Structures are given as C-alpha cells and as structure tokens.
Amino acid sequence: MPTDPKIVAVIPARWSASRFPGKPLAMIHGKPMVQWVYERCLEASAVSETLVATDDSRIYNAVQEFGGRAVMTSPDHPSGSDRIAEVVREMVCDIVVNVQGDEPLIPPENINRVAQCLADFPDIPMATLRTAIVQDREINDPNTVKVVISKESNALYFSRCAIPFHRESGINEDKNADLWYKHIGLYAYRKSFLLELTQLPESNLERLEKLEQLRVLENGYVIKVLTTDLTSQGVDTPEDLVAVQSIMKL
C-alpha cells in the first residue's frame, strides 16, 4: 500500500535585510517573529517536521532557546529556495513547504492546502496561493505581485505590473473582485523538483521582474495556484511590525 508523503516546513531566515535588518528576531508581544512563524507551522496538521534555515548564529540560538530546530546554512545563497535546498538535500522527505520567516500571522490552513495539493496530485511539482485584490492601490503597487492562471488553475504569469490589463474599463474603474489576484508567497515543492530548480540558472523574466517563480514557468514547469480567502500581514518594514503588533492585540 502507498504511504503518505513526508511533508516538512522550512522557514528561511537571514539577518541581513535592506529595509529591516535583524527582522526574524524582532519582538512581537514577548516572542521573536521567527517563533510566531514556527508555531504557526506546528499548527499545520499536514506537516510532520518544522525547522528554520539560517546563516546567522543569533537566529540559530534564538530558535534553540524557544525549543525549535534550526540548521546553519551557507551565507552565500542568493534566495530562500537555495537555502532550503541545502537543508533538505540530505533529509528524508517528499514535500517541502517554504514558509516565509516574516509571516507571523500565516494561517496554518494555507500551509496545509499547498502541502495537501502535492500529496493529492503526484504529477504536480509545485503549488502556491493567490487571493483576490480588494484594495485598488494594490493593483498598481509593484510590491504586490499579481498572478493570472489557466482554467486548470495553473500559473500563466506572475508580475509586479497590473495583469490582466482591462483595455475597455481601465484599472481604476472596474471593481470586479474576480479580475485581479495577488500572489501569496507560500510554496510547496516536491523535494526532487526543488533540488532541480535551484540548479537552473536565473531566467530572463526572473531577472527582469525579480520574481524567482518565473524561473519555473520559463523552463516549462507547472505551478498549481490555489485560491484562498485566508490572508495575513507580512512584515517588510518596521512600520509593518507595528501593524502586526496591533492586529495581534485584537
């Protein structure tokens, strides 16, 4: 009889960040942010193991102190995916969920959804999420990544620009919530695919948009995109941290 795939969640966490150095250890109501993310992963029933991949001893020690598992990695990785690939290369697992270290409010249900998608459909190499854009300002915001999908819910393209472009109505006039969707940066990969992906060179579209997932599409692979109503507030700046602290008080 087939066995259930082993699913691990890996949280890439680095110290250096141009807008918010030391972000993983920013305190939120008495806990470092990375601990909040870690505990959210523990709540995801599909995940059998959670760990933090870091290149900084301060983050490593903080994870150890709250009872989590951390692994030191090379400081030379260009992306979180590369950092995760180093960690899982020697691990016994089938599916790897990349959980961003700046998402202390990430819904465990979203982690379960992308993981279960790969568990249910063995031919799919990678899965991610999208949610409807409800604030008009996000449509033109290059920091909000947009995604368009096929009828089979496979990604057609990701962009920092407003896609699709509504030729007749224009972006600011159409209030159709089903037209524009933003990408949620949560990924599940088959381990074998992640290791293959991180060996591929940076693609042209990836270089232009600064979006690593475009490497997948440009090389002809499928990304399944699931739709969710469950969203969270990420932390990119100190101002975002204040917003998250306020949300957690509610």
160 lies in some domain: yes
Q: Which pLDDT score is estimated for 17?
A: 74
Task: Using alpha carbons, list the distances in angstroms from residue 19 to 7, 82, 174, 237.
Answer: 32, 21, 33, 6
163 lies in some domain: yes
Give percent of the chain with pLDDT exceeding 90: 79
> In the predicted model, is pLDDT for residue 174 greater than 80?
no
The count of other CB atoms within 10 Å of the CB of residue 102 is 24
Q: Spell out a b/e string for 177-215, using b for 16 or more CB atoms within 10 Å of the CB, else e.
A: eebbbbbbbbbbbbbebbbebbeeeebebbeebebbbbb
Q: Are 9 and 110 in contact (CB under 8 A)?
A: no
Q: In terms of residue numbers, what domain contains 142?
A: 7-247
pLDDT category, 173, cuts 50, 70, 90? Answer: very low
220 lies in some domain: yes
65 lies in some domain: yes
Q: Are 221 and 196 in contact (CB under 8 A)?
A: no
Rounded-to-integer distance, Cα 113 and Cα 45, Å? 10
CATH code of the domain containing 239: 3.90.550.10
pLDDT, the chain, mean = 92
> In the predicted model, is pLDDT for residue 171 greater than 70?
no
- CB-side neighbour CA atoms (13 Å) of 94: 18
- Cα 3 versus chain centre, distance: 27
47 lies in some domain: yes
Rounded-to-integer distance, Cα 55 and Cα 130, Å? 29
Query: Please, where are the H alpha helices in 45-141?
Result: 57-65, 80-88, 108-120
Number of structural domains found in the chain: 1
Model pTM score: 0.93
Q: Are 113 and 129 in contact (CB under 8 A)?
A: yes
The DSSP output letter for 129 is E
1 lies in some domain: no
2 lies in some domain: no
123 lies in some domain: yes
